[in-house]
Structure 1
Amino acid sequence: MKIFNSFTKEAPNKVFISILLGALAGMLYSALIPLVLSGINPEDPAFPKADTVTETLFSFDVSNYKLALMFLFSCVLILLMRSSSEVMLIRVSSNVAKDLRTKFYYRIAGAPLATQEKIGSARFTAAVNIDVPRIIGGARVIPEILINTITLVGMLGFLVYLNFEVFKFVMMAIFIGVICYQIPITIGSRMFQTSRIEQDKLQESIKSLIYGAKELKLDTLKRQHFFKHTLLNHEDNILKNNKRAETIMRATMCFGDLISFFVIGAVCFIFVNYYSISQQELVGVVMALLYVTGPISIILGSIPQLAIASVSYRRMEKLIAEIPQEDSNEQVNQLGEWQSMRFNQIEYSYPMVSGEAGFKVGPLNLEINKGEITFIIGANGSGKSTLSKLLTLHYLPTSGDILFGDQRVSADSIVSHRQTIGAIYSDYHLFDRLLVELTDEVLATTQHYLKTLHLDKKVKIVDGQFSTTSLSDGQRKRLALLVAFLEDKDLYLFDEWAADQDPVFKNVFYTEILPNLKAKNKAVIAISHDDKYFDVADKILVMDQGKLVDYEESSLHLAQVS
């Protein structure tokens, strides 16, 4: 029932009205059988004597026209109330699905970057594409279960009215049938849970298939090994578990459809031998049991869907529990002017892995000034990427202080400080549109930069959207640079930006773009290995095993000199 809470929170009044209409429809359903029996068994003392007057309505002769009108009126009411109930719930469920996805999007966006990197995009994608639809599907059947339960209760009440001994016998038979039904359902649910875990692994493998396409094309044996032992292995495991689960579920559902008929058979062929029951009562009992076949079938048939939804709900809850929210004030406030960004005894430690301490950066003491170009260099694994993410406030330090001017970065100000920073990382994402307010000035500036970056023949701006992003790696990075210029930040960080550029544009980047940003009093940071352009930098920071070392004494400098 936790799943249904999302419905009641979204639109409590609509859900209440929907269930009320469904309940009334269920009660009217249960009243149809005695109404019909009153018409076809007028001499049965268990029912009121029916009026046998025949009237002509719309050229048809109708016996017991008052009962017929009541029957017709009841059917119309059932149609209207049941339809209104289900349509209302479908609309609410559509809103719930959107809200659930939206909240999940904001949850991801509000998570620390380190957490997002640890969890990975595959689990996020699987949650949105698999778990959310299953949860919504499970929530949708809960009202239907309630409505049919009310119908079932009404018909069982009718059995009490007909013959209490029959009622006790039927209840005992239904109880045994439900127990026999629930055991395989539980087994099938566990298999679906195993399959759901395997689907997370499959999502990761699909990601590897897409992003590792170049590597797989170069080595047939490598590709075959990947398919056999990774991608198709997960597919086979999912298929195996789903087949078993679906087989159990479907067989159990078929058994559920026949529970009412087993009960009818038990009443007609066994019960009548031990208890006295009139022919008219037996007809009423059989009709009532035939009537409850539908509600029982719907209730039992909904249980597998609820079981699958519960698996996804638990999976979603577990994932959300793994996504902490940053302790920060999301409101953007105006900050004071600053000329330098300073690190004071900054340290950052990665979480422990397999009981071993994670990589540690720091303590770091440095100063980044506006109107200066700073290069960060170092060997692979030296801590350059971690330092860069600390500089752009993507990572929050384990200890120490970051100051912009005299203002310390805190939970209240970190979001505001981030608004002054622009970055193009090596794994940057190029959005397909300009995510800024479009004005004539912005469009004119965009066109200017398109020409400057030699992209005006490749890319146009149509309603704020790039006409194409299917460009070479170097051109895509130039387009990302254009976006960075439009954002007009105070501090810029470029992570190996020139790595994909031809010699001409590499030279333009180091000798024109970076100096121009410096001239505009921007703080410019570049992670680079292009020692040919080290003279462009006002300051060079060298990372070595998580610490800053003097450039003149570093192994990189010695290698260049030799």
Structure 2
Amino acid sequence: MNILQVFQSRSKIFYVFLLILGLISSLTSMGILMLINQTLTGKAVILVGAPENNYIAFIVLITLSFLSTSYFQNYMVELTNSIMFNLELSVVQKVRNASFESFERLGSEKIYAAIADTRVLSRVPEIFVTLINASITIICSFIYFFWVSPLGCIVVLTLMTLLLLFYIYRNKKMVKDLNTARDLQDAYYFSLRELLSGFRQIRISSVRNNNLFNKYINANRTKVQELSIRTSKKYIANELTGSYSWYIVLGMVIFVLPAIFHITAGQLAAFITTVLFMMSPVSRLVMIIPFYSSLRIAVERIEKIDKQLAVDALPDAAKVNTKDDFSSVRFQDVRYGYNQHEKEAFHLELSEFNISKGEIIFIIGGNGSGKTTFVNLLTGLCRASQGKIFINEREVEWEEFSAFSNHMAVVYTNQRLFHANYDDHDLSDKNERMHYWKDLINLNGVLKINNAKDCIEVNVSRGQQKRIALLMALMEDKPLLVLDEWAAEQDPTNKKLFYTKWLQEIRSMGKTLIVVSHDDDFYHVADRIVKFDFGRITSDTANVVDLEKNM
């Protein structure tokens, strides 16, 4: 991704502003340089008149340069902040519409890093103005240099070009270190996520705690520290080389050029003035090179993550009418694999599978049999690589089926209770439906509502969290309810009530239930029991006796 294209894509007049600033900078730089040299020789500037009035031209040029630079820099601040905002939201937009597989493959630490990369753009206004002003000043200086002495200009230009190429060569080698540091930063975020998300397991084991810190976090930071010191020293060496190379240029102008070419005292003074005039712009231009390397890496990584998240991505989530009639969902010759190109990788295959309105279907099978993958496919998180899907016996494309997930309320086995009311549930005391479900699933005294923040307090036990999650799912009032091993963390009383009473109560409201379960004592309450093994359905029956024969 070209960095200039990033700005051009956000502003149609970006290059117009660059051109205007370049022209003004050219005029002011050339004018100031000529003014200095002509004042030293006692000559007058044509537009001003007498030499003693040269200060008027000087004031006019400086004022014009200040106003144009200030205006452009303010414009760049607005544009850059707009780009930062849009790039950050672009990453978030792609995350929320990404396929589950793309999200899992990428990892949240890289997403955090990509969002942090957008912050690199904060220095762009200063850099752009410096780049333009410095470049124009240097070009104008060489034009003036060439006008005074073409041969002298060529010699100095050749020397400076060689020094610049040497600097760029050394900087190019440092870009590799910057990329390595960026990869280490991703690994560091991953380790931090392990520490924060698994804090309890980490805290209770000194071996686990020490290994995570010493072998991963501390080792990572040590490598970054060493790499940072080594890179910084290289940059210092580069900067010193760039700074002191001016003494070489100045020495050549003062001692070498007069010995080789016939140069008058006036020309020598003009040479020295021009070199001194260029020193600051060139130094600033050289300082931009490391920043440009960091900026390019950041933009390229953002683009890379955009492409990774775009795989199997869906259009922006649109509002879907969840009240549409639902009668059935049918899968025909559907296949999904985590790694499509690996023969030994796990694959889920559904030759023929149907879900009808009002059913209670139990999904059973051992660990790794495909139950969770099936739930991910059913809820539109994963995209089938082949096969047909029918809703109400009408074949639908993947995009429409994925949107069909809006007809489902799901409680995953590792369900997260959000700290905010993202579903816009009515949590007030006037919501009789909420109180009915709260009483039914034993949440009296457990469910606590923060009326000021319009949210539910989630600092409760795991079993209670699951019951609150079920309450939230019921309040969504969707035609299908998917429960992934919901009863696994319930006490015996609530588990029994769930299977023998709550499921029937939910079904009586016209809901269809898909329940992933290991509780064989309660299989008799299901209308159908579907057994998975190695990614395939090995039995699908409503007859418990026949099922037992197949197990």
CA contact (8 A) 2:10 2:83 kept: yes
Alignment partner, residue 374 of structure 1? 361
Whole-Å separation in 2 of the counterparts to 1:356 and 1:382: 17
Q: Give the drift of 1:488.
A: 1.5
CA change 1:194–1:291 in 2 (3 A) is same
Whether 1:522 aligns to 2:511 is yes
Whole-Å separation in 2 of the counterparts to 1:71 and 1:463: 61
Alignment partner, residue 245 of structure 2? 259
CA contact (8 A) 1:361 1:546 kept: yes
Q: Give the drift of 1:440.
A: 9.1
CA contact (8 A) 1:191 1:241 kept: yes
After TM superposition, the structure 1 = structure 2 runs for residues 468-507 of structure 1, keeping only pairs within 5 Å, are 468-507=457-496
Q: Choose which of 319, 334, 337 in structure 2 pairs with 1:349.
A: 337
Q: Choose which of 303, 306, 314 in structure 1 pairs with 2:300.
A: 314
CA contact (8 A) 1:107 1:325 kept: no
Q: Choose which of 377, 386, 393 in structure 2 pairs with 1:406.
A: 393
Q: Give the drift of 1:456.
A: 6.7
Deviations 1:310-368 (A, max 9, x none): 22333333333333443756655659623222232332222158x55211222343332
- The AA in structure 2 aligned to 1:16 is V
Give SS of 1:323's match: helix
Give SS of 2:92's match: helix
CA contact (8 A) 1:442 1:486 kept: no
The more displaced of 213-222 and 73-82 is 213-222
Give SS of 2:13's match: helix
Whole-Å separation in 2 of the counterparts to 1:553 and 1:532: 11
Q: Give the drift of 1:48.
A: 6.4
- The AA in structure 1 aligned to 2:183 is I
Q: Choose which of 276, 285, 290 in structure 2 pairs with 1:304.
A: 290
After TM superposition, the structure 1 = structure 2 runs for residues 40-439 of structure 1, keeping only pairs within 5 Å, are 40-42=40-42, 64=52, 66-129=53-116, 131-134=117-120, 137=123, 141-142=127-128, 144-326=130-312, 337-351=325-339, 356-437=343-424
Q: Give the drift of 1:240.
A: 2.3
Deviations 1:11-64 (A, max 9, x none): 1215532552254135313321321333343169xx7698558xxxxxxxxxx2
Whole-Å separation in 2 of the counterparts to 1:329 and 1:74: 53
The more displaced of 4-13 and 34-43 is 34-43
Whole-Å separation in 1 of the counterparts to 2:450 and 2:524: 36
Alignment partner, residue 448 of structure 2? 458
Q: Give the drift of 1:221.
A: 2.2
Alignment partner, residue 35 of structure 1? 35
CA change 1:420–1:3 in 2 (3 A) is same
Aligned-residue identity in percent:
22
Q: Give the drift of 1:5.
A: 0.8
Whole-Å separation in 2 of the counterparts to 1:416 and 1:538: 27
The more displaced of 315-324 and 513-522 is 315-324
Give the total of aligned pairs: 544
Whole-Å separation in 2 of the counterparts to 1:172 and 1:37: 23
CA contact (8 A) 1:23 1:147 kept: no
Q: Give the drift of 1:2.
A: 0.3
Q: Choose which of 520, 523, 531 in structure 2 pairs with 1:542.
A: 531
CA change 1:33–1:214 in 2 (3 A) is same
- The AA in structure 2 aligned to 1:375 is F
Deviations 1:479-512 (A, max 9, x none): 4333322322111111122333344443443344
Q: Give the drift of 1:88.
A: 0.9
CA contact (8 A) 1:424 1:480 kept: yes
Whole-Å separation in 2 of the counterparts to 1:206 and 1:443: 43
Q: Give the drift of 1:159.
A: 1.3
Q: Give the drift of 1:174.
A: 0.7
CA contact (8 A) 2:77 2:125 kept: no
Whole-Å separation in 2 of the counterparts to 1:255 and 1:97: 34
Whole-Å separation in 1 of the counterparts to 2:57 and 2:338: 74
Q: Give the drift of 1:111.
A: 2.2
Alignment partner, residue 59 of structure 1? none
CA contact (8 A) 1:445 1:486 kept: no
Whole-Å separation in 2 of the counterparts to 1:310 and 1:554: 66
CA change 1:21–1:340 in 2 (3 A) is same
The more displaced of 70-79 and 527-536 is 527-536
Please report the RMSD computed on the Cα atoms of aligned residues, expressed in angstroms. 3.2
Whole-Å separation in 2 of the counterparts to 1:398 and 1:535: 34
CA contact (8 A) 2:239 2:287 kept: yes
CA change 1:488–1:138 in 2 (3 A) is same
Whole-Å separation in 1 of the counterparts to 2:126 and 2:415: 40
Alignment partner, residue 7 of structure 2? 7
Whole-Å separation in 2 of the counterparts to 1:432 and 1:109: 18
CA contact (8 A) 1:39 1:50 kept: no
The more displaced of 392-401 and 152-161 is 392-401
CA change 1:120–1:164 in 2 (3 A) is same
Give SS of 2:214's match: helix
CA change 1:555–1:150 in 2 (3 A) is farther
Q: Give the drift of 1:302.
A: 0.4
Whole-Å separation in 1 of the counterparts to 2:47 and 2:72: 34
What TM-score, normalized by structure 1, do the two folds share?
Answer: 0.87
- The AA in structure 2 aligned to 1:33 is L
Point out where structure 2 has 5 or more consecutive residues left out of the alignment: none
Deviations 1:140-198 (A, max 9, x none): 63453233211211111121222223211210121111022112101111111122222
CA change 1:472–1:253 in 2 (3 A) is farther
